[in-house]
């Protein structure tokens, strides 16, 4: 294979993300990224040391364009909702990489920035100590779960159509599936988040 003289971090990240988007996170290896770049596997070690570093590059590429400036909105709930929506818009096209947001939360500058922004809003709303921990964790859990559900099991998918036909055995599932067809991803995410936020108190 021809050997590239030099690669940028963005080129490496884009190649790794292309592998993840096309084939799934489990397929991400030094070898598959090298193949994506049309270079030898050993040549890739000039730029990154292992798969973990490739994963972090993917996270930074996806989150790199997100504005984590706390929005100037009237309520803390609206500020949190806007930050979460910005993340959703950045990540929604790459559902297979969603687990990396948790795996690399301690090492990813992008994930750190998102956490700092949300925690600053919670602190300003009066959340402190363990209460802030629980509120933040609940928000992160919702965000990660909603992103995975949107990517892997969207309401517009074939699974919803199947459930809608099972009225005799599962009447509540079927009825709910019929209604689900009219719910957009943005509405599902936003209204679900609003339910959670209404239940959070300092």
Q: Which two tokens stand for residue 46?
A: 């000039």
* Cβ neighbours of residue 177 closer than 8 Å, sequence gap 6 or more: 160, 161, 163, 164
- Note the pLDDT tens digit of each residue in 20-68: 999 999 999 999 999 999 999 999 999 999 999 999 999 999 999 999 9
The backbone torsions φ and ψ at residue 50, rounded to the nearest 5 degrees and listed phi first, read -165, 180
- Note the pLDDT tens digit of each residue in 128-145: 999 999 999 999 999 999
Q: What is the pLDDT of residue 2?
A: 47
H runs (alpha helix) in 45-108:
51-63, 76-91, 99-103
Neighbour-count burial of 123, counting CB atoms closer than 10 A to its CB (0-12 exposed, 13-18 middle, 19+ buried): middle
Q: Where in the chain is the domain with CATH 1.10.357.10?
A: 76-199
Query: Would you state the torsion angle of the CA atoms of residues 74, 186, 28, 60, taken in this order, to the nearest 10 degrees?
Result: -20
CATH of 76-199, one of 1.20.1630.10, 3.30.390.30, 1.10.357.10, 3.40.50.720: 1.10.357.10
Distance of CA 162 to the CA centre of its chain: 27
Other CB atoms within a 10 A radius of the CB of residue 25 amount to 17
Q: What is the pLDDT of residue 29?
A: 96
The pLDDT confidence band at residue 157, using thresholds 50, 70 and 90, is confident
9-63 — its CATH code? Answer: 1.10.10.60
The pTM for the full model equals 0.88
The H or E element spanning position 15 is helix 9-23
Q: What is the pLDDT of residue 1?
A: 44
The pLDDT confidence band at residue 154, using thresholds 50, 70 and 90, is confident
Residue pair 150/189 in contact (Cβ under 8 Å)? The answer is: yes
Q: Where in the chain is the domain with CATH 1.10.10.60?
A: 9-63
The pLDDT confidence band at residue 156, using thresholds 50, 70 and 90, is confident
Q: Which two tokens stand for residue 37?
A: 């770049």
Q: Which two tokens stand for residue 190?
A: 């936003």
């Amino acid at each position: 294979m021809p050997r590239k003289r030099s690669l940028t971090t963005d080129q490496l990240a884009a190649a790794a993300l292309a592998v993840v988007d096309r084939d799934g996170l489990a397929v991400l290896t030094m070898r598959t990224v090298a193949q994506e770049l049309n270079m030898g596997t050993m040549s890739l070690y000039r730029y990154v040391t292992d798969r973990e570093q490739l994963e972090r590059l993917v996270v930074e590429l996806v989150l790199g364009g997100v504005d984590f400036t706390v929005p100037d909105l009237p309520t803390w709930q609206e500020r949190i909702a806007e930050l979460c929506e910005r993340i959703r818009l950045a990540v929604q096209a790459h559902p297979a990489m969603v687990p990396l947001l948790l795996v690399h939360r301690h090492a990813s500058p992008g994930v750190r920035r998102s956490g700092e922004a949300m925690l600053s809003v919670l602190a300003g709303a009066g959340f402190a100590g363990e209460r802030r921990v629980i509120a933040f964790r609940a928000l992160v859990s919702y965000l990660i779960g909603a992103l995975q559900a949107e990517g892997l099991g969207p309401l517009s998918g074939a699974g919803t159509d199947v459930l809608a036909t099972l009225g005799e055995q599962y009447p509540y599932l079927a009825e709910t599936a019929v209604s689900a067809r009219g719910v957009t991803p943005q509405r599902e995410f936003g209204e679900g988040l609003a339910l959670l936020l209404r239940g959070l108190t300092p």
